[in-house]
Amino acid sequence: MTKNKVDGVYSADPLKDPNAKKFDRLTHFEALSMRLEVMDATAFSLCLENKLPIIVFDLQATRSIERAVIGDLIGTLVCSEKGND
């Protein structure tokens, strides 16, 4: 999932809160319990139910789509379990 001007999932909106913490990796349940607005609730629920990982990254970053496809660690990975992709 791409974002404009935001390179992952944060504890708060990084464009408004300079103290927002970026997460490199989260589980679906962690994102839900922290009430992080990762994406539309229905789409997020479908990813959770089907154990689909989500990579959240900045679309405008150089070679971002290519880097995501080849498996570079970019943005934030949201997955079903800690330590699993």
pLDDT above 70 for 36: yes
In a domain, 30, yes or no: yes
Q: What is the arithmetic mean of pLDDT over 70-83?
A: 88
In a domain, 57, yes or no: yes
How many separate domains does the chain show?
Answer: 1
Q: In angstroms, rounded to a whole number, what is the distance separating the alpha carbons of residues 56 and 36?
A: 13
Average pLDDT, the chain: 89
Question: Which CATH number belongs to the domain containing residue 34 in this structure?
Answer: 3.40.1160.10
In a domain, 85, yes or no: no
Residue range of the domain that includes 67: 2-79
Q: In angstroms, rounded to a whole number, what is the distance separating the alpha carbons of residues 22 and 15?
A: 12
In a domain, 23, yes or no: yes
- pLDDT score at 83: 66
In a domain, 48, yes or no: yes
Q: What is the arithmetic mean of pLDDT over 47-54?
A: 92
Q: How far is CA 61 from the centre of its chain?
A: 15
Write out 45-60 in H/E/C secondary structure.
HHHHHCCCCEEEEECC
β-sheet bridge partners, residue 54: 78
pLDDT above 80 for 39: yes
